[in-house]
Every structure is written in structure tokens, then in C-alpha cells.
Amino acid sequence: MALKPFRIGVALSAAADRRDWIEQCRTAESVGFDTISVVDHLGRPAPFPALMLAAEHTTRPRLG
């Protein structure tokens, strides 16, 4: 049985502004998180634009 690599992720839910969101995503990538997820809930940032911004400013993490 082949073992799959262990992955760890972070769920981001809020940011003060665009710059703060980008910094949170870059920090998550730099400390080694494999996935960045966005919480979909009323009163939080819309998930699709937030994920698109994360994709623009990171290279390795998967997004969800």
C-alpha cells in the first residue's frame, strides 16, 4: 500500500483589506501550508474573489 503525503491547510476568513488578504495568503504559503481555504459565510469575504486573489499571489498551495 502506497502512502499518500500528509497535507495540512489553513482556512482564512477575514482581512482588513486587499493588502492584508494577500499578506495572509503569502504567509500561509511561506510557512508551508499545502492548502488555503476560504470560509463561505454571511458577513465574510466572498469566497471566489478571495480565492482568485490568493491564486494570483501564491504558487504552491491548493485552493478551496
Each residue's pLDDT tens digit, 13-58: 888 999 999 999 999 999 999 999 998 888 887 899 999 999 999 9
Q: Is the distance from CB of 34 to CB of 59 less than 8 angstroms?
A: no
Residue 11 reports pLDDT greater than 90: yes
Q: What share of the chain is helix, strand, coil (3-state, %, to 5)?
A: 40, 15, 45
Q: What pLDDT shows up at residue 29?
A: 98
Q: What is the pTM of this model?
A: 0.87
| Residue 18: per-residue pLDDT | 94
pLDDT band at 10 (very low <50, low <70, confident <90, very high): very high
Q: Give CA 50 to chain center in angstroms.
A: 8
Tell me, what's the pLDDT at 1? 79
CA gap 52, 27 in Å, rounded: 16
